[in-house]
Amino acid sequence: MSQSPIDLWNSLLAGVDAPAMCVRLSAAMRDSRLRFGDRIICPFLRPFFLDAADEARVRGVAEMLWTLGERVVRAAVADPQLLADLALSDEEIRLAQIDPGYETASTAARADAFILPDSLQFAEYNAESPAGAGYSQRLAELFDEDPVMAGFRERFDARFARPIEALLDALVASYHEWGGTASPPRMAIVDWREVPTFSEFEILRDAFTALGVPTVICDPRDLEFAAGSCVSAGTGPGLYAGGERIDLVYRRVLINDIVARGTECRALLDAYRSGTVCVANTLRCKIPHKKAFFAVLTGERYARLFSADERAMIAAHVPWTALVEERRVAVAGQPVDLIPHLRANRDQFVVKPNDEYGGTGVTLGWETSEADWDAALARALAERDRGWVAQRRIAIRRELFPVCESGGASASGSTPPPGRAKGSAERLAARDMLVDFAPYIFRGRLAGYLTRLSASGLANVTSGGGQVPAFVVQSRAGTRRQVGSEPPQLAPSS
């Protein structure tokens, strides 16, 4: 009875045919469209475990972060200096100034973080169009149905979140806030057909439709905007896909792409500007999505926007961040020249672009030579218009996870050649993995988790990381147990 959830799971795993389990789960993931491009999303054979106290702690902090993001949006729309301090481009500012027809900027958000025994350390805030909710729920359902989980539940209660339903509820709530009256609204999930997350769109389309909201997947190039009447549909003004009017757009196409590929996104943008379709997230969500959002939270210039309790939460959970530029800043209440401070303390900082994905351009000071660190700072200073931030190194979590290798669910994403016998050439290894724990917040409420693992300092799918489901566990004896045994370590945020 002294076993932790991790120990119990590993002991159960030792009693089954793990190579066969690798093949079984890999096949189930492919059948369930749990793929990032051609690679299954989870080569691991254990979920991430947290307890009810962890969940309550995460809920309060993550929901407050969403609230602060929405507040900064409202302030920035009326404050050109705040927009400048967030380093939005001129075109992003023009898009943010379009009235979306309702106040909520980020219907769906995700706070990428590291959960520690006594805190939640945020790395960044994805306020624009976070992926993974569909993957996370379906992956949890696969593990929930596995025989190993049945054995685990003899000793521990285990439950998982259902973010798909919560996402749909949030999208429809934003539609009603916008003033929509269709019941149900016709929804379009909009992104490029070539993106590696297309399989998740299929998962969400099928789930939303089954839950009563007819949903289609549309490439921006396939949309049609009618200012007067739609020739193909013979109906009034609005946004159309395949001749059918769209009431609600679940926007997965990124604002960066809307700016860079404006002609191809013109129908979507014209419909948004005209107020004839509800779009979630709105184009104002870019304001808190910028990594400089954390500089607004942790700097002194905008402290007036936050209460004393909120400032205490920020100090406890948000790493100190600043735009990289030649200026004086306050560090722990003491004024310093930023650039010399960063040069002298590179082992305590990371430099990253203000608006990139997948770890692109991230420089970890503690893994970088002095010359390369100086070069990173010089580039950041030269590209001040683009915006780069320096962020204090944060504590992270690492745990050992069993991983499938050399077959259907390998850590590298390789797949077995056609005709390979079931279970052949499969083996299980234990790997020390960084655990990136990212709660979803939909319209201000905790809705689930994206849990990514990486052997390196950058935890993200695009750089080759994997994903596991998260389960909240509690001993059936009613005793609260520590669900992880590995102590936190200092490592990067990205």
Structural domains for the chain: 320-392 (3.30.1490)
pLDDT tens string, the chain, 494 residues long: the values are 568 999 999 999 999 999 999 999 999 999 999 998 889 999 999 999 999 999 999 999 999 999 999 999 999 999 999 999 999 999 999 999 999 999 999 999 999 999 988 778 999 999 998 999 999 999 999 999 999 999 999 999 999 999 999 999 999 999 999 999 999 999 999 999 999 999 999 999 999 999 999 999 999 999 999 986 554 544 678 999 999 999 999 999 999 999 999 999 999 999 999 999 999 999 999 999 999 999 999 999 999 999 999 999 999 999 999 999 999 998 888 899 999 999 999 999 999 999 877 677 899 999 999 999 999 999 999 988 888 999 999 988 999 999 998 644 444 444 333 333 343 456 889 999 999 999 999 999 999 999 999 987 655 544 446 999 999 999 986 544 444 434 333 333 33
414 burial (CB, 10 Å; 0-12 / 13-18 / 19+) is: middle
**Of 150, 179, 209, 143, nearest in space to 402 by CA:** 143
| C-alpha–C-alpha distance, residues 485 and 126, integer Å | 29
Taking only the tens place, the pLDDT of each residue in 308-365 is: 999 999 999 999 999 999 999 988 888 999 999 999 999 999 999 998 776 778 999 9
Residue 80 corresponds to which tokens in the numbers above? Answer: 């050109």
Local structure of 50: helix, strand or coil: strand
| Dihedral over alpha carbons 224, 225, 228, 232 (to 10 degrees) | 10
Taking only the tens place, the pLDDT of each residue in 59-75 is: 999 999 999 999 999 99
Question: How many residues are present in the chain?
Answer: 494
440 burial (CB, 10 Å; 0-12 / 13-18 / 19+) is: buried
| C-alpha–C-alpha distance, residues 118 and 57, integer Å | 9
